[in-house]
Amino acid sequence: MNFDSAIVTIQQHLVRYVWALKWCVGKRVLDAGCGAGYGTWLLAHVAREAIGIDCAAEAVAKAQERYGAGVKAFRAHRIEDIGTQHPFDTVVCLEVLEHLDDMEVGLAKLLELTAPDGTLLLSVPVRQGLNAWHHGRDYSVADWDALMAGRGVEQTRFYQPCGGEVASFSNCEIQYRTTSTETADGYSLYVVKKGLS
């Protein structure tokens, strides 16, 4: 990956955190797969409480060092192993599911971590091919729909294309379009609401 494409990738990832902000205002938030921690830090600016977890202890240590002052906690945990006794109002999980050994188990755990009337925010790559990001396989919207089927939740899908213009902003809100199909390589973003069906 060259420098320019790396910058676009980072920009697009950060924009997905900005997209998540409106569901985090005043909420108890978990950033599942927080990596370097900048997204958790951003969410903490509007959340009542923000906690970031990641399976990479080194990333968690760096996140704590760089962004710990504004975040309740960064913890080294695998999604599959975190306790669910205190569910979160909003769970944010951006570009993580495709890295898990068992996405079914990971998604089930994310739903358990989401309060009964809470919101799970997911973003996943679609039709990007196997690449240096270590995705286990290439997914389509139909694959993700099959993964979500029968879980008793209501979901809304948004679409962000790869490369080029990322999005427009209005009062820190990303303007993505809702979609039922993907039209090119990109990311599907899901707002999953519990307690509605």
CA distance readout (Å), 44 to 18, 25, 58, 87, 171: 12, 9, 21, 17, 17
Name the DSSP class of 183.
-
- Domains present along the chain, CATH in parentheses: 3-193 (3.40.50.150)
Cβ-contact 32, 50 below 8 angstroms: no
pTM of the model: 0.83
Bridge partners, residue 188, by sequence: 124, 159
Per-residue pLDDT of the chain (197 residues; tens, 9 = 90+): 566 666 666 677 788 898 899 999 999 999 999 999 999 999 999 999 999 999 999 999 999 999 998 899 999 999 988 888 899 999 999 988 888 888 889 999 999 999 999 999 998 877 655 454 455 666 677 777 788 777 778 878 776 666 544 444 333 344 444 444 445 566 777 788 876 55
- For residues 89 and 8, what is the distance between their CA atoms, to the nearest angstrom? 30
Residue 170 CB neighbours (<10 A): 8
